[in-house]
Amino acid sequence: MIGGALAVCGALGVWLLVTAHADMSLVPRRWSSALGASPTASPRRLLLGTLSAVAAALAGWTAAWMLFGGFIAPALIAACSAVMPGRSTAARRRWRTAQSRQAWPGLLAEIRIGVAHRNQSIPAALFAAGTGAPADMRHAFEEAARAWVLSTDFESSLRLLKTSLADPTTDAICETLLAAHQIGGVRLETRLRGLAEAAHAEAAARSDARAKQAGARFARGFVALVPGFMAMIGLSIGRGREAYQAPDGQWLVAFSVLAVIGCWLWAGRIMAIPQRKRVFLL
């Protein structure tokens, strides 16, 4: 098992290094998502994701074999463990995106002040406000500002910003700022204030929804750990390990693991906060 996993990992690493300058859109989207990377991720990130998945699978196999013995239960738990690093990385990315989205009301307020009181243009006010953006957003603003300085093409600079942040709120704000820059008007300050209020209302509604779900999310994680503790306690009761190693015990453990995973995924699905779809992609 370990030798085969290491051989597969080594072959995959060689392939990723050879294709380092190739078009990574050829990598399947489902594969990159399972590894916690975006479809356009670099070969290095894909390799690190693959190594993390292999290490998690080996750890899951070892722990399950020590608890239950046999083959069926360890194989199932190893398969489930392999996807955990990717899901954890994706969850952290979603959390950072949610935190960054909450910064837009303050950024829009800075843009409005720059336009109305400092006589700055919309591009200058946008990129000046971007210097105070959160760390996860600042790099995208720096790239867009660099493109603006080199080309003075506000539309292409905003396209670069939208691509880097990949967020529906950013898409809507960038399109509104582009229209305001191209059309202009005497009510520009009022429109910017309304845009900031809309972004603030959306961020507040999402924060309130997450706060209301805090107890349910804690219960979801706690309940998922209970079967593991019960399985460990079962080892000290009578002939616990021998019962787990029996064919019937292996199948019952596998069924229990699948039931816990199904309930976990179902609970996450019904608690998911709806995300707006990106519509300004061109």
For 71-118, the DSSP string reads SHHHHHHHHHHHTHHHHHHHHHHHHHHHHHHTTHHHHHHHHHHHHHHS
DSSP annotation of 42: -
Q: Considering the domain boundaries, does residue 12 fall inside one?
A: no
123 and 202 together in one domain: yes
Spatial separation of the C-alpha atoms in residues 105 and 133, rounded to whole Å: 11
Boundary (domain end) residue, out of 164, 189, 211: 211
State the residue range of the domain holding 111: 102-211
Cβ-proximal residues to 144 (8 Å cutoff; 6+ apart), any chain: 127, 130, 157, 158, 160, 161, 164
pLDDT at 6 over 60: no
Boundary (domain end) residue, out of 211, 229, 253: 211
119 and 80 together in one domain: no
- Predicted confidence band of residue 279 (pLDDT cuts 50, 70, 90): low
Between the alpha carbon of residue 125 and those of residues 130, 135, 137, 191, the distances in Å are 9, 19, 16, 15
Spatial separation of the C-alpha atoms in residues 265 and 260, rounded to whole Å: 9
Rounded mean pLDDT, 151-157: 90
Q: Considering the domain boundaries, does residue 252 fall inside one?
A: yes
- pLDDT score for 73: 79
- Predicted confidence band of residue 185 (pLDDT cuts 50, 70, 90): low
109 and 179 together in one domain: yes
How much is the mean pLDDT over the chain? Answer: 76
Angle at 102 between CA 101 and CA 106, to 5 degrees: 115
- Predicted confidence band of residue 170 (pLDDT cuts 50, 70, 90): confident
Q: At 246, which helix (H) or strand (E)?
A: none
Torsions phi, psi of 213, nearest 5? -90, 0
Rounded mean pLDDT, 164-173: 82
What's the gap between Cα 65 and its chain centre?
Answer: 31
**Which segments of the chain does DSSP mark as H helices, in order?**
2-18, 29-34, 43-68, 72-82, 84-101, 104-117, 122-130, 135-151, 154-165, 168-183, 188-212, 214-235, 240-245, 247-270
Q: Considering the domain boundaries, does residue 187 fall inside one?
A: yes
The pTM for the full model equals 0.60
Spatial separation of the C-alpha atoms in residues 276 and 233, rounded to whole Å: 45
User: Between residues 255 and 228, which one has the greater pLDDT?
Assistant: 255
CB 17 within 8 A of CB 42: no
CB 53 within 8 A of CB 85: yes
Rounded mean pLDDT, 201-221: 80
- Predicted confidence band of residue 137 (pLDDT cuts 50, 70, 90): confident
Longest dimension (CA), the chain: 82
> Which among 2-6, 151-155, 231-235, 251-255 has the top mean pLDDT?
151-155
- pLDDT score for 147: 92
173 and 247 together in one domain: no
Rounded mean pLDDT, 36-56: 68
Number of domains, the chain:
2
- Predicted confidence band of residue 14 (pLDDT cuts 50, 70, 90): very low
128 and 206 together in one domain: yes
201 and 128 together in one domain: yes
Q: What percent of the chain has pLDDT over 70?
A: 78
121 and 196 together in one domain: yes
CB 50 within 8 A of CB 37: no
Between the alpha carbon of residue 129 and those of residues 1, 25, 112, 133, 154, the distances in Å are 54, 33, 10, 7, 15
Rounded mean pLDDT, 155-182: 86
pLDDT at 163 over 80: yes
Rounded mean pLDDT, 56-74: 82
- pLDDT score for 278: 66
176 and 226 together in one domain: no
Rounded mean pLDDT, 111-137: 87
Tell me if residue 256 falls in helix, strand or coil: helix
162 and 255 together in one domain: no
- pLDDT score for 146: 93
- pLDDT score for 270: 81
- Predicted confidence band of residue 42 (pLDDT cuts 50, 70, 90): low
Listed range (11-15, 44-48, 80-84, 184-188) with the worst mean pLDDT: 11-15
DSSP annotation of 238: S
